[in-house]
Structure 1
Amino acid sequence: MKNIFRKEFRPPLAVLALLAVGAAFPAFPFWVIAIVLGIAKITWDSIEKIREKSYSLDYIALLAMVVSLFAHQYLAGAVVALMITGGEALDEYASARAEGALRGLAERIPKFCTVRSADGSIAEKPIQNVASGETIIIKPNELIPLDGTILSSEALLNEANLTGEAAPVSFSKGEFAKSGGINVGEILELVVEGGFETSTYMRIVHLVDEAKKHQAHIVRLAEQVNFPFTAITLALAAGAYLLSHELSRSLAVLVIATPCPLIIAAPVAFIGGLSRAARRNIIVKRPATLEELSRASVVFFDKTGTLTLGEISLTKIEVLAETRTATELLAVASAIEFHSIHPLARAIQTAGSLRKAPILEATNVVETIGHGIAGDVKGSRYTISKAEGTHDGIALSLLEGEQEVAQFHFEDEVKENVAELFRALAKRGISIRLLTGDKRANAERLFGKFGITILAECTPESKYAAIDSAKNGGATVVMVGDGLNDAPALAHANVGIVFSGTENSAAIEAANAVILGRDVMLIEYLFDTASRSMRIAGQSIWGGVALSSVGMLFAAFGFIPPVAGALTQEVIDVAVILNSLRTAVR
């Protein structure tokens, strides 16, 4: 019940009260006052729109209320006033409901930070005033307000706001933590890097804010349709008067023709679509992106980090000594690589931990950049270096003395559900193409089985050129990437979509939509949201116009009086808004 008394509902409640009192005391001009309130509201709103250089105004409703005064049809005019004030209130409420998920991002940001000074004193400080280099304290279950380096010995953060992953992530002292994560461990301290406006979380919020500043083509189309629709309505109203010489018939045409469906249906539908996407950690910058996605015919994918995990992992251990086991040799390699910071060394250590290999100690470890690493384990000298010969992917050799005892094979892994995504896009009639800077053999090994077009050894310039060629061929092009080298292609495509942990700021700025997570099926979810939003927006616009047009014809021939016409249009408005709100449904 409290929602009824929200600020946006006060004008229609006042008009409704005047309608009710006027029905009880017809001798008093309560309905005239209601009409005046409606005229005042629409005039004020029109002035605001003109200031914003928007000239798609509700001319017909304004004219209908003025005509109702001259025709002494005060009840019809009051109902139009209720329709206008009520429709706008419902629109504002619907938009507020649809934007709730988007506003929630900004509302989670704390207004103050607990800052520890150099002398050890603690004080609250507005988040905008916290400078780079200051130490802040984050309590359990609080949001990390600013980017920075972990000062505590360890931290446990939930980064679902940033990545979509629910599993907590462990951080050690000295590691960089992005704002937006939730501290799900003990109280921690963090040394701030950068400021409030440049923080990771605020960059995401700015993307959300930008979404509200641009209108999709179909919203602009709805406003363009308003002008010819208004002209046709005025002609029909004039014709009805000339044929019947009854001002009430013209009024009936005007009240039914009030084009609320054109003005409010599409914005509500698209805001609902943005909200639906935001609930799945997909930030769409502007409503026009949804329209472009619904018309997409070609999708280009970057490979590494987009369709693959972007992390080298150990995929196979080839044992070459009959008396040794894979687990034993992995333990030896892990002990030696413990002393290296090479990415392949981390992959071996990770595999050793996952496969529960025994923990061994390596001594006399020597690493020669570009050649390999060697060390003593259990009395034997081992060397790890690049494997000789031709191999699929990356391979390292493990030698005991001069004898090769094992080969370790590494590969970037294809993300889960990639095959399902490709099937879903193909079902939509979309052509799929892969852009990668990797060698063709590696790309073919991972993606050749999917039967897609593969463009290998691409530079940022050649990726841009591929997008340009497709667009010149008449295609509506979508580019999906994740890194700095994808930024030119993302910006040049009709729609750029970026998978990001938010560290690739250039890619984020170039993209039209940002997916905060790794699940590739979120791309299909975004396409589904776009198609759904376009379909529902179109239904709302043309359905509302069709219903109003039928009603106008009946009114012009005298079958619908002004009061009934006003009530009919109110029903149409409510139906259109409720239909548009379906885009926000999960």
Structure 2
Amino acid sequence: MGGVVLMLWVLGHQGRAQVLGSVFAGAAAVQRGAVMIRDMVHGRWGVDILALTAIVSTVAVGEYIAALIVVLMLYGGSALEDYATARAKGELSALLDRVPQTAHREQPGGKLEDVAATQIVPGDVLVLRPAEVVPVDGRLLSAAGSFDESAITGESLPVELVRGGSVLSGSGNGAAAVRLAATAAAEHSQYSRIVALVRDAAASGAPVVRLADRYAVPFTVLGLVLGGVAWLISGQALRFAEVLVVATPCPLLIAAPWHFSAA
């Protein structure tokens, strides 16, 4: 839509460009305002409050170009936030999909018993078949073993271990079956702690996002007061809109979800 408005403006149809741009910005403000009100009812305040006020005020005084720029920043930040959320959920799902649900516990006499991974206790002897994921942290009992620790350490090359070596939960066994002794329960193993950390990080958000939400209301009030003072002193409503556009934290609308995504 912004491209259509720009094309009309270049072709000399400034009047049509203003009408179309103003209608589009107003519709965007209404749609985003409905979402904002719903969030406010649930006690969630964000940095887009001032942005919506800036859109409405710029449309009201006929500065539709400024309104479209704020709309672009606002929805650009939302798109990045959706991308960051989907990425975090995807990474958490990938981690959870790797969590083994069962393990092969060796009984006296060498008989194997399939048990839930949560039933493993330190000291249990486990048998890992080729390509299986290690359910708990352990100590290698076989003479040698090869393990893929890329899901934990990021190292793409297999790690070669000898008897007595520490085997990390979440790593993948190589092409040969091996025996290991559990050194920790499932909930206290390395992989479970990584999953818990990722889940907590996804739920809490990045520090810059929490900081932005914390100061959203006082910053909005300050911007409105400054805009009102500028309007009162100059006697022009345009000054009120100009102050709000300058005060709109557009870089923060983009930086907050992008920082969350990078984290």
Regarding TM over 0.5, the answer is yes
Q: Cα deviation per residue 1:340-374 (whole Å; 9 max; x = unaligned)?
A: xxxxxxxxxxxxxxxxxxxxxxxxxxxxxxxxxxx
Match of 1:168 among 144, 148, 160: 160
User: Is contact 2:76-2:254 (8 Å) kept?
Assistant: no
The Cα of 1:87 is off from its aligned counterpart by 2.7
Displacement of 1:244 after TM fit? Answer: 4.0
Equivalent-residue separation in structure 1 for 2:24 and 2:210 (angstroms): 34
Q: CA deviation at 1:258?
A: 0.9
Task: Map 1:288-437 to 2 at 5 A.
Answer: none
Rounded to whole Å, the distance in 2 between the matches of 1:117 and 1:212 is: 34
Partner of 2:54: 64
Shift in alpha-carbon separation, 1:148–1:261, aligned structure 2, 3 A:
same
Equivalent position amino acid for 2:76 in 1? G
Q: Structure 1 residue aligned with 2:74, among 72, 77, 84? A: 84
**Bigger CA radius of gyration:** 1
- Which residue is 1:19 aligned to? 2
CA distance in 1, matches of 2:65, 2:98: 51
Partner in structure 2 of residue 44 of structure 1 = 35
Q: Which residue of 2 aligns with 1:107?
A: 95
Tell me the CA shift for residue 206 of structure 1. Answer: 0.7
Deviations 1:305-363 (A, max 9, x none): xxxxxxxxxxxxxxxxxxxxxxxxxxxxxxxxxxxxxxxxxxxxxxxxxxxxxxxxxxx
Give the gaps of 5 or more residues in structure 2.
9-15, 107-113
AA aligned to 1:37 is A
CA displacement at 1:251 relative to structure 2: 1.8
Question: How far apart are 1:62 and its partner, in Å?
Answer: 1.3
Q: Determine helix, strand or coil for the equivalent of 2:176.
A: coil
Whether the 8 Å CA contact 2:92–2:195 is kept in 1: the answer is no
For residues 461-508 of structure 1, the C-alpha deviation after alignment (integer angstroms, 9 at most, x for no partner) is xxxxxxxxxxxxxxxxxxxxxxxxxxxxxxxxxxxxxxxxxxxxxxxx
Matched length: 242
| Structure 1 position 45, deviation (Å) | 4.5
Aligned residues of 1:135 and 1:192 also touching (Cα < 8 A): yes
RMSD, aligned α-carbons: 4.9
| Amino acid across the alignment from 2:77 | G
Structure 1 residues 152 and 260 mapped into 2: Cα distance closer, same or farther (>3 Å)? same
CA distance in 2, matches of 1:240, 1:72: 18
Identity level (%):
30
Displacement of 1:61 in angstroms is: 1.3
TM-score, normalisation: structure 1: 0.33
Q: Does 1:250 align with 2:231?
A: no
Taking the aligned partners of 1:131 and 1:217, their CA distance within structure 2 comes to 33
Equivalents in 2 of 1:24, 1:271: separation in Å?
A: 34
Give the superposition deviation at 1:254: 1.5
Contact 1:113 1:137 in 2 (8 A): no
User: Are positions 1:233 and 2:220 aligned together?
Assistant: no
TM-score (normalised: structure 2) = 0.63
What's the counterpart of residue 139 of structure 1? 130
Matches within 5 A, 1:113-132: 132=119
Equivalent residue number for residue 26 of structure 2 = 35
Q: CA deviation at 1:106?
A: 5.1
CA contact (8 A) 1:148 1:190 kept: yes
Choose between structure 1 and 2: higher helix proportion.
2
Question: Greater relative contact order (Cα 8 A, min sep 6): structure 1 or 2?
Answer: 2
Higher normalized strand content (fraction of residues) = 1
Q: Cα distance, 1:84 vs. partner?
A: 0.7
CA shift in 2, pair 1:36/1:179, >3 Å: same
Shift of residue 257, structure 1, vs aligned partner: 1.5
2:170 aligned residue: 180
Q: Which residue of 2 aligns with 1:211?
A: 201
| Amino acid in structure 1 at the alignment position of 2:4 | V
Within 2, Cα distance between the matches of 1:29 and 1:260? Answer: 24
Structure 1: runs of 5+ lacking an equivalent: 1-17, 119-124, 276-586
Cα deviation, residue 40, structure 1 = 1.3
One-letter amino acid matched to 2:74: I
Q: Against the structure 1 CA distance between its residues 83 and 157, is the aligned structure 2 distance closer, same or farther, given a 3 Å change threshold?
A: closer
Aligned residues of 1:159 and 1:168 also touching (Cα < 8 A): no
The 1:171/1:185 distance shift into structure 2, 3 A limit, reads farther
Question: Structure 2: how far apart are the matches of 1:56 and 1:36?
Answer: 20
Contact 1:238–1:250, Cα closer than 8 Å, also in 2: yes
Write out per-residue CA displacement over residues 37-88 of structure 1, whole angstroms, 9 at most, x where no aligned residue. Answer: 243135414533652x333442221112222443344443233222210133
CA drift at 1:183: 2.7
Q: 1:219 to 1:65 in 2, by over 3 A?
A: closer
- What is the one-letter code of the residue matched to 1:89? A
Alpha-carbon distance in 1 for matches of 2:27, 2:39: 18
Alignment correspondent of 1:361: none
